[in-house]
A and B are shown apart, each in its own frame.
Chain A
Amino acid sequence: MNIIAIIPARMGSSRFPGKPMAKLLGKPMIGHVYERVRSSKLLSETIVATCDQVIFDYIESIGGKAVMTSDKHERASDRCAEALEKLEKLNKVLYDIVVMVQGDEPMTHPEMIEEAVQPMLVNAEIKVTNLMGVIKSKEEFEDRNCIKVVCDLKGNALYFSREPIPTRSKLDKVIMNKQVCIIPFRRDFLLDYIKLQPTPLEEIESVDMMRILEHGIKVYMVPTSFDTKAVDTEEDLKEVEKLIDNI
C-alpha cells in the first residue's frame, strides 16, 4: 500500500486570516501539523498543498515538501485532488490511499493516521473514513465550529451537523461525538468524489462529508483514542497552546 498524506492549507480564512502561519509555542501551526503527520510510519510521503507562497516557502525551509495549487479551490478536497494528480505525474506513481489532514488540527498524533487508515487496510469496501472524537463538555457540544456526528450500528456516519445532535432532552447520559478531520480516501474515490454534484445539506451545514452521504455513499467513522482540539479562532489557539504545553 502506497499511502500519502496531503495537508491542504491557505492563508485566506474568513474566521482566522493567516491561520496556518499563526504561531503556536513559537512555531507556525502548519509546522506542528506537518512534523507530527510526517512521523507516521504508514506514510510514504507527506505534502502540504497550498496556494500561498509564504506557506510553500516555510515548509521547504523546515525540510518538508509542498505543492503549489490553484487559488480558486473552495474546498480542501479539491485542493488535495489537484496536489495528488501533480505529484503522481511528478513521481510517476499511483498512490492507493490519500489521507487528507486539515492544517487546523495541531494536536494530531502520528498514530491517529494509523487509526484512521486501519479499517481500509482490512476492508476493501470502505471508500473513505473519518476519525471521530468524544465531546466532553456542553460548551463544545453547542459550539457551531464543532461538527457533531451520529453513526449507524456498524459505525457508518448517518449525519453530520453543527446543531447539537443527538437531542439530549429525553436522556441525560448521551454519547456525543465529533468529527476529527483526518480523512483517508481511496485514491480513485477522491477523484470521483470531487466530481459529484454539490448537495443541499452539504451547503446548509457547511460540511464537506455531507456530499458523500447525500449521494448514498458510506463514510466509516473511526473512534480515536487521542484528545484533539481543532483551531478555528485565536482563542482556540491559546487553549491548544496550554494543552500541548501540558503534554
Chain B
Amino acid sequence: MINGHSVLVVIPARMGGYRFPDKPLRMICGKEMLRWVWENAIQSKFADEVVIATPNKEIVETCEAFGAKVILTSDTHRRGTERVHEAYKKLGGNWKIVVNFQGDEPLVTGEWLDNAIKELEKNNHVSCVNLYKWMSYTESETDQNEVKVVLDNESNAMYFSRNALPAIWLGDKKFQCRVEICVMPMWASSLEKFVELPNAYYEEIESVDMLRFVENGLKVRMLECTAPVKSVDCEEDLKQAEKLISKILRNNGGRLA
C-alpha cells in the first residue's frame, strides 16, 4: 500500500526461451534465479501481494516449494505485460498499482522496486515507470539483448531500441547509453489500456512492451537505478550475476539488501 493505493507485484516467467530454455530455474549461488527475484520482491514495503505468473508446471512446482504464490497463466501470451494482466485479473483485479517485475532481474532489490513504485505514485499523468542503468557505448553497441532508451527533459522515454542509442555522431565512445531494467510499475488502468490496444508497430520490431505505451502517446517515466544490477539473457550474464551476488552477500553478511 502506498498513500492508499494497493500494490500487486507480478513476476512473469516461462521456460522454453529460444536462447536459454531453462533460464528461470537456473541456480545462482545455490538458489533458482526466480527465487532471488521473488525474495527481493517480498522485501518491498509497498507490495500487498507478490505472485509469480507462469504457463509452466515445472515452475509452479518449484516456486510453490519455496513458498511463493503462483498463478498458472496461458501459454499463448506474446508479451510479459499480457501475462501480468492475466494474473491480475485472476486475482480479482482490485489493485490500484500493478508491477511487472521480470523474472530475469535477480539483482533488483525490494528497495529499488519501491523507488520505482514511489516515482509512479508521485506522477499521476505517467502510465508506467521503468528503472534504467548506464552502460558503456561499446558494450551497448554489441549487446542487442539490452534495450537502450533515450529520454526527454522530463525523463520520459522517447524511444527504446536494440541498437545503441543515441548515435555517437562525433565518435565519442566515452559516452554512455541508458539501458532499461525490467521493473515496471504501472497504474492498473494503464495495464487495462495496454491489453486493449493492438500491438504497436515498433513494439513488434524492437520486441519491447513499453513501446506500446510510447507509440500510443502514453508516458513512460524512467528512473535511474544506481545499485549494481544485471539482467540475465545468456550463460555469460548468469556468471556475471553470480559474481555480483556472491560479492554482495560477502560484504553484506549473507544478505542481498
Contacts and interface: CB of A to CB of B under 8 A. Distances in A.
Contacts of A170: 162, 205-207
Given A152-B217, A216-B153, A162 B206 contact: no
Nearest to B153: A214
Taking each of B154, B165, B205, which has the highest tally of chain A beta carbons within 10 Å of its own beta carbon? B205
Interface string A160-180: 011111111111001100000
Contact of A166 (B153, B158, B161, B164): B161
Contacts of B158: 158-159, 201, 213-214
A171 B144 CA distance: 13
A41 B140 CA distance: 48
Contacts of A213: 152, 158
A153 B152 contact: no
A27 B148 CA distance: 45
Given A162-B169, A204-B175, A214-B152, A167 B214 contact: no
* Interface size class, chain A: 20 to 34
Interface in A94-116: none
B167 A199 contact: no
B139 to A, nearest CB: 15
Given A170-B207, A174-B205, A165 B163 contact: yes
A167 B148 CA distance: 11
A141 to B, nearest CB: 11
17 contacts: A144-B167, A150-B159, A152-B216, A153-B215, A153-B216, A158-B202, A159-B165, A163-B167, A164-B163, A165-B159, A167-B163, A167-B205, A170-B162, A174-B205, A199-B153, A204-B175, A206-B169
Interface of A: 144, 150, 152-154, 156, 158-159, 161-171, 174-175, 199, 201, 204-206, 213-216
